Structure 1
Amino acid sequence: MTVEMMLVLGLVVSAVILFATERFPADLVALIIMAALLLSSLITPEEAISGFSNPATITVGAMFVLSAGLYRTGAVNAVGNALARLGRKSYILTIAAMMLVIGIISAFINNTAAVVIFLPIVLGVARDTHTSASRLLMPLSYASMFGGVCTLVGTSTNILVSSIIERRGLAPIGMFELTDMGLIFFGAGVVYMLLAGIWLIPDRGGEDETDKRLGSGDYVTEIIIQPDARSVGTVLAQSPLLHELDLKSIEVFRDGRRIDGPPEQIELREGDHLKVRCDLENFRKIQQRRGISLRHESDQGGEGKGMLEETKLVEAVIAPNSTLDGRSLKEARFRSRYGFSALAIRHQGRVVREDLETIVLRAGDVLLFDLGPREIEWLRPDRTFVVISEVQAPVFRKRKTAIALAVVTAVVAGAALGVVPIMSGAIIGCIVMVLARCLSMEEAYEAIDWKVIMLMAGVVTLGIAMEKSGAALFLSKFIVYAVGGAGPSVMVAVLYLFSALATAVLSNNATVALLIPIVFATADSMKIDPRPLIMAVTFAASLDFMTPFGYQTNTLIYGPGRYRFSDYLRVGAPLNIIFWVLATIFIPRFWPF
């Protein structure tokens, strides 16, 4: 083993550890690895920045803009509204229709974007049909992944793989080359979910809930006793605050210190801080009480904006790749950036009891805000959040719907027929979207998920270093020695399984960037066509059902569905096994060795 191999493999191990532990954001890890490769002279400066000019990176950025054009014109939302009307008939019909609709849409726009659009709609369906959101959101996420693997543009992973193999001299992945295998996964996944999966999903809400939204769950917030509060001078156990509100728990703090003791002995005083746990309905009641202020209102030096203007309690999920992921509100300077504070936080499916400003947030967490109309308008387009409360619907440019649909159809058709490369077509489509005023330039810039772009650009360089140093060939020899004698079909099974497990702890794009160079070296050693092995890695990297963090759509529903980690494992593990068997059987048939 050469020094270059050892350096590259050391960086690979470091990257895997950093990706898995989530100590740093995934995009930052990718850029750190890129910088380390550059400083160690394992790659040239041109190779280091080649990821930014990679056709996959540019195409994925353009697809984000095209997806935003569909959303801004209401093209996708109209389908969602039709689904909402259909969903009132029966639970099974709701699931079947929703999975079919989201699967089809996810085949042609980024599947994460599709889930972002449908999340508030599905929560509304859950409320209207008196169904727990947990019973609907997991099928939504899974169906988006089923559809995403049916076409080249369904996921960024497919586009990245196509670019990598084209650079290696293979034909790029065709627009519908994945469709046959993808439809098998789609059909098997829907059948599994209808017959078994939905019955394994826990019901995270009882039928007697006042409101089926996430807001009906418990939150923790801090309130301050004002001089005119009726509870001043009463003991906690007899206070009007405790008797007139359904507060699940109360902790009293005075001068920064917690007051311990039985409720019958704690006398409430002016200025006491109370940390209370309650549901959304009681938040509303707290806001209306005389002599009680929420902490963020007191900090502003007024009686609370809820007393000055009509406000709404708004719930927002922290989006995957959000700037808040991995940071606290204090570290992100949230208050100075937005001008308002969170009232409460639901942190990864559980009630948070620590100070709200210092909790390290994760994608999927839910924040509760008390906002006026203007603030809601500021928050809704912010890519940091996905607003899931029932707020006033955004204004769509419905006159441009036909244009947006025509542009996306032309991009897909042009690539499928070989008239224009997908990257060129996507760029032209973005220009037409802006010129036709389906969306503005500002909205186009905001639509691009720059964290995904940086991640893709960074991991591409690691793949280059693995090939250039010979590390990929070195690792492939171990794989061939271990299972190569069992035949190519077994190699497909091994690579699919390894990729599925890897993407559960790494990002899907990082998984393919690491494994595709090894696939080429393995195929060369076995003297077989690398394409079936490439397809095994490609499909597996975009079909992780077992963890809430292995794929962005799973992360997005984690908080709103009030799921636990074990829920994904219980429902998703059998599905992963089914797909593994199907891949082993059908990939060699669609892509012969």
Structure 2
Amino acid sequence: MIARALWKRKNAKGISDSMLVTAIVIMGLILLLVFSSQKASLHFLLAVTILYTYGVVDQSVILGNIINPSVITLLLLMLSSLALERTFLLSWISSKLLRYSYRWTLVRLAIISALSSAVINNTAVVATLMSSVLKNQDHSPSKLLIPLSYFSILGGTLTLIGTSTNLVVNGLIQEQGLPELHFFSFVPVGAVLFIFCSVVIFLLAYYLPDSKGKEAIVEKYFLDAEVKAGSKLVGKTVRQNRLRALDSLFLAEIVRDGRLLSPVTPEMVIEANDKLIFTGNVSEVKQLNTLDGIEIFADSNELLNRNLTEVIVSPESILINKTLKQTDFRSRFDAAVVAINRHGQSLSGKLGEQVIEAGDKLVLAIGEDFSKRQNITRNFFILTGLKLREPLTFAQNIVAIVGFFSAVFIAACTSFDLIETLSAYLIMCLGVKVFDATTLRRRFPFELWGILVSALTIAYAFTHSGLADAISSQLFSILGGSSVFIAFAGVFLVTVLLTETMTNSAAAAIMLPIGLSFAKTYGVHYLPFVMAVAYAASASFISPFGYQTNLMVMNAGNYKFSDYVKTGWPVTVMYCFVGLLSIPVFFPF
């Protein structure tokens, strides 16, 4: 508080210092989001703390953003999607997805994933449809999973609630005292983008890598076992112990006294306390139990006799950049890691000493309390093997499905807003026990809430410090007022670039004030610039780490980073070209 008072006294002469602080904070935030491995929410919180300390924003601004209608609407939508996840709706949709013809399968995939993502959380949509894609026998999963992610991203641009970006932009313009956007405001441009980009995706899908799908993926799993003292394997060679004769498991390395022995030769003698590093089909791991004196990493926790569960490490997981031993994995999650798969890469060393990365696929042997832990959904995307609750009854399914779409329809066609209708829907779901209060508390998106509130606060500082107007005026003088379209295109393209390198919420928060300032400087309508930011902030096709659905399918499809670049840049070019031409048509200057 003393520093804040001194800063206010020092800056009584004008707002230039506030502009400087805001500029430094925003540049620092961009650098942290791009280069730091820490959680994005921590970077946003640090930025807001600095702005508050130096008096650029005050308590009323932060508290107002905490209860911003668009933020509350997004949180209610996230919680409402929990009910739909438990119904038969997504499973039924998934069953209608695949056909023998690859072409018609792509068409169905595009329509189903896009329409579902327009009203349902696209993470849940992709997770459900991905399961069917991986199990199909007609088409390679790698030919379908990137298109699935892209179609879901495009589907989110169709409605106000289709993506968090649209709701954030809506909240930002409301903060400026401008009219809010309507539910169907995004449909015209979103539909055009979907059609043209889908054509590109259809053409490129045939050139995606043709892996063997799930079988190819399991061959890359990484697991280890320790030779205990007294084992009958000790003193005998690899050949004598038949370690090269295991079904679907290959002895790749041996770790001995901290040294890595590779490649493993048939005549290499096994010693006590050796770590045997295998790659192969994780479902065959119990073969190792038939070997005398062998202890598997997960079996040391007495969990291997339980069902195995596959998960993907979330980008927000606390495990990232830490080893399994450092995280105390067993006590934290009541589970043990049996194997790791990392985008098809070959791993080396001990399982417990592997540094976890976002997108790693883990096979877990889970304990009885695994499903009750409140930190599961924040650290992992659950793929298979986990049953948290009993299936909903037919009546509960009807209430959850009909209730949700009724809430959206009523909000779109009457004077009631989504906050009112979704609140009533959640209360109804609690009443008929679709889920309970514990589930809502455990799955509440606190980190997303913090990011959105911080993004709105940063946008406020950007605008009210005068920085946005100063930047737009400077750019206007450089452009010479030659063309408003050049300024419009610049806002769109820079937003696309920022979205690929940081969160879409940050890109929208930084670029919307500049867009609004451009509209004021050129004396044109603000909506073309608003829509430029909204659509551009959803354009994440080139980087697998730019959007969580891209990351989810990366490991499941055994993709490389280059696969996204090769497929994503033509989609991005088409997206930008169509967006720049169509937005001014539906939202003229």
1:337 alignment counterpart: 332
Cα distance change of structure 1 residues 261 and 385 upon mapping to structure 2, 3 Å threshold:
closer
2-structure distance, mates of 1:381, 1:295: 21
SS in 2 for 1:108: coil
Instruction: State how 1:471-550 maps to structure 2 within 5 Å.
Output: 471-483=467-479, 485-550=481-546
1:422 aligns with 2:418: yes
Cα distance change of structure 1 residues 330 and 38 upon mapping to structure 2, 3 Å threshold:
farther
Deviation string 1:204-239 (CA, Å, 9 cap, x unpaired) is 337xxxx5374x231222211246755332223543
2-structure distance, mates of 1:379, 1:353: 32
Instruction: State how 1:56-455 maps to structure 2 within 5 Å.
Output: 56-83=70-97, 87-125=98-136, 128-129=137-138, 131-194=139-202, 196-205=203-212, 212=215, 214=217, 216-226=218-228, 229=231, 231-258=233-260, 263=265, 266-298=268-300, 300=301, 304-306=302-304, 309=305, 311-371=306-366, 375=370, 382-389=377-384, 395-397=390-392, 398-455=394-451
2:21 alignment counterpart: 7
Q: Is the contact made by 1:50 and 1:461 (CA closer than 8 Å) also made in structure 2?
A: no
Q: Is the contact made by 2:316 and 2:378 (CA closer than 8 Å) also made in structure 1?
A: no
| Letter matched to residue 226 of structure 2 | I
| Letter matched to residue 334 of structure 2 | G
Q: Is the contact made by 2:515 and 2:530 (CA closer than 8 Å) also made in structure 1?
A: yes
Cα distance change of structure 1 residues 224 and 72 upon mapping to structure 2, 3 Å threshold:
same
| Letter matched to residue 282 of structure 2 | L
Deviation string 1:399-422 (CA, Å, 9 cap, x unpaired) is 212212222222222222242122
Cα distance change of structure 1 residues 190 and 347 upon mapping to structure 2, 3 Å threshold:
same
1-structure distance, mates of 2:251, 2:119: 48
Cα distance change of structure 1 residues 545 and 462 upon mapping to structure 2, 3 Å threshold:
same
Structure 1 length-normalised TM: 0.90
Cα deviation for residue 535 of structure 1 reads 0.3
Percent identity among equivalent residues?
26
Cα distance change of structure 1 residues 274 and 433 upon mapping to structure 2, 3 Å threshold:
same
SS in 1 for 2:327: coil
Cα deviation for residue 62 of structure 1 reads 0.5
Q: Is the contact made by 1:99 and 1:140 (CA closer than 8 Å) also made in structure 2?
A: yes
Q: Is the contact made by 2:219 and 2:279 (CA closer than 8 Å) also made in structure 1?
A: no
Deviation string 1:167-214 (CA, Å, 9 cap, x unpaired) is 2122111100100111111112222222x12023212337xxxx5374
SS in 2 for 1:547: coil
Q: Is the contact made by 1:200 and 1:570 (CA closer than 8 Å) also made in structure 2?
A: no
Q: Is the contact made by 1:151 and 1:177 (CA closer than 8 Å) also made in structure 2?
A: yes
Cα deviation for residue 296 of structure 1 reads 3.4
1:587 aligns with 2:579: no
Cα distance change of structure 1 residues 568 and 484 upon mapping to structure 2, 3 Å threshold:
farther
2-structure distance, mates of 1:113, 1:274: 38
Cα distance change of structure 1 residues 288 and 102 upon mapping to structure 2, 3 Å threshold:
farther
What 5-or-longer segments of structure 2 have no aligned partner?
Answer: 1-14
Cα distance change of structure 1 residues 227 and 332 upon mapping to structure 2, 3 Å threshold:
closer
Cα distance change of structure 1 residues 164 and 374 upon mapping to structure 2, 3 Å threshold:
closer
2:550 alignment counterpart: 554
Q: Is the contact made by 1:133 and 1:212 (CA closer than 8 Å) also made in structure 2?
A: no
Deviation string 1:497-521 (CA, Å, 9 cap, x unpaired) is 1111110001001110111111111
1-structure distance, mates of 2:498, 2:266: 55
1:32 aligns with 2:43: no
Cα deviation for residue 539 of structure 1 reads 0.5
SS in 2 for 1:427: helix
2-structure distance, mates of 1:515, 1:345: 39
Cα deviation for residue 258 of structure 1 reads 4.0
Deviation string 1:383-412 (CA, Å, 9 cap, x unpaired) is 432232366796421421221222222222
Cα deviation for residue 486 of structure 1 reads 4.0
Instruction: State how 1:563-582 maps to structure 2 within 5 Å.
Output: 563-582=559-578
Q: Is the contact made by 1:411 and 1:422 (CA closer than 8 Å) also made in structure 2?
A: yes
Deviation string 1:494-548 (CA, Å, 9 cap, x unpaired) is 2221111110001001110111111111111111111101101100111210111
Cα deviation for residue 246 of structure 1 reads 5.0
Q: Is the contact made by 1:348 and 1:362 (CA closer than 8 Å) also made in structure 2?
A: no
| Letter matched to residue 544 of structure 2 | P
Structure 2 length-normalised TM: 0.90
Deviation string 1:48-78 (CA, Å, 9 cap, x unpaired) is 3333212222111100111111112222222
SS in 2 for 1:177: coil
Q: Is the contact made by 1:345 and 1:367 (CA closer than 8 Å) also made in structure 2?
A: yes
Cα distance change of structure 1 residues 379 and 559 upon mapping to structure 2, 3 Å threshold:
farther
2-structure distance, mates of 1:244, 1:364: 29
| Letter matched to residue 212 of structure 1 | E
Q: Is the contact made by 1:320 and 1:556 (CA closer than 8 Å) also made in structure 2?
A: no
2-structure distance, mates of 1:526, 1:331: 56
2-structure distance, mates of 1:71, 1:400: 12
1:469 alignment counterpart: 465
2-structure distance, mates of 1:74, 1:323: 32
Q: Is the contact made by 1:9 and 1:471 (CA closer than 8 Å) also made in structure 2?
A: yes
Cα distance change of structure 1 residues 445 and 40 upon mapping to structure 2, 3 Å threshold:
same
Q: Is the contact made by 2:375 and 2:442 (CA closer than 8 Å) also made in structure 1?
A: no
2-structure distance, mates of 1:34, 1:348: 36
Cα deviation for residue 481 of structure 1 reads 3.2
1-structure distance, mates of 2:21, 2:415: 43
SS in 2 for 1:293: strand
2:5 alignment counterpart: none
Cα distance change of structure 1 residues 446 and 305 upon mapping to structure 2, 3 Å threshold:
closer
| Letter matched to residue 278 of structure 2 | V
What 5-or-longer segments of structure 1 have no aligned partner?
Answer: none
1-structure distance, mates of 2:46, 2:120: 30
Cα deviation for residue 144 of structure 1 reads 0.6
Cα distance change of structure 1 residues 287 and 386 upon mapping to structure 2, 3 Å threshold:
farther
Deviation string 1:524-578 (CA, Å, 9 cap, x unpaired) is 1111111101101100111210111111211221221221111111101001111
Cα distance change of structure 1 residues 378 and 315 upon mapping to structure 2, 3 Å threshold:
same
RMSD of the alignment, in Å?
2.6
Give aligned pairs, total. 574
SS in 1 for 2:161: coil
1-structure distance, mates of 2:581, 2:264: 65
1-structure distance, mates of 2:404, 2:298: 45
Does 458-467 or 375-384 show the bigger shift? 375-384
Deviation string 1:234-271 (CA, Å, 9 cap, x unpaired) is 22354311233555453223344445797366321233
Q: Is the contact made by 1:69 and 1:404 (CA closer than 8 Å) also made in structure 2?
A: yes
